Amino acid sequence: MPTVGPITSTIVPMAYDSDSIGFGGPVDITGPAIGSVSYHQDAADDLSLTITVEFGQPSTVYRVFLVCGPSHASGCGFRDIGPVATNVVGQGNTTIVVPFPVLRAPPFGPGYRTDHLDLLVGAGDLSKGVLTAGALNYFVCRERVGAQAAQPTEAERQSATGDPLGAMASGTDPLAGP
């Protein structure tokens, strides 16, 4: 059972963290490896994520949440950044680009970032499982290099507090600290 945690490469494993019937164990960012996330920042400072789900729930549309913080318990906010759909055998993939203004806006912000992804059918809905990938390590500049300073739009500022698991966020996360 792999543990999802700080990895300096640009490919991180995705774990089937848990679901409403307990497959995958407790919500603690460990579980069977069921896919991967490849990520990089492009020349515009946007974060590009290529998500591959190999063993998710069949015929499911997961919402992808970029979560501030390396663990569920330390989640300091999140954004729904897009969907990934699985086919009848639970496989799916997508590429999502998170624009620089979103990365610069709260709850994220400038500096060195260590965040994670949660895939759920909706915020707080574990009915089709919690798929987790992280930690994603990247850097957000205060201003986009070579571009005029622009404030994020209202849509780019939309975020929620905590972790998308809500009350299910575990205090036993290995990355939560004391």
How confident is the model over 41-85, as pLDDT tens digits?
888 889 999 999 999 999 999 999 999 998 888 888 899 999 999
**Cis bond leading into 106, ω under 30°?**
no
3-class secondary-structure state, position 102: helix
pLDDT tens digit string along 11-49?
A: 999 998 876 666 666 677 778 899 999 999 888 889 999
Q: Is the pLDDT of residue 8 over 60?
A: no
pTM score > 0.85 for this model?
A: no
Alpha-carbon distance of 74 to 162, in angstroms, equals 8
Q: Domain ranges in the chain?
A: 11-146
**Confidence grade of residue 173 (pLDDT, cut at 50, 70, 90):** very low
CATH architecture for the domain at 11-146:
Sandwich (2.60)
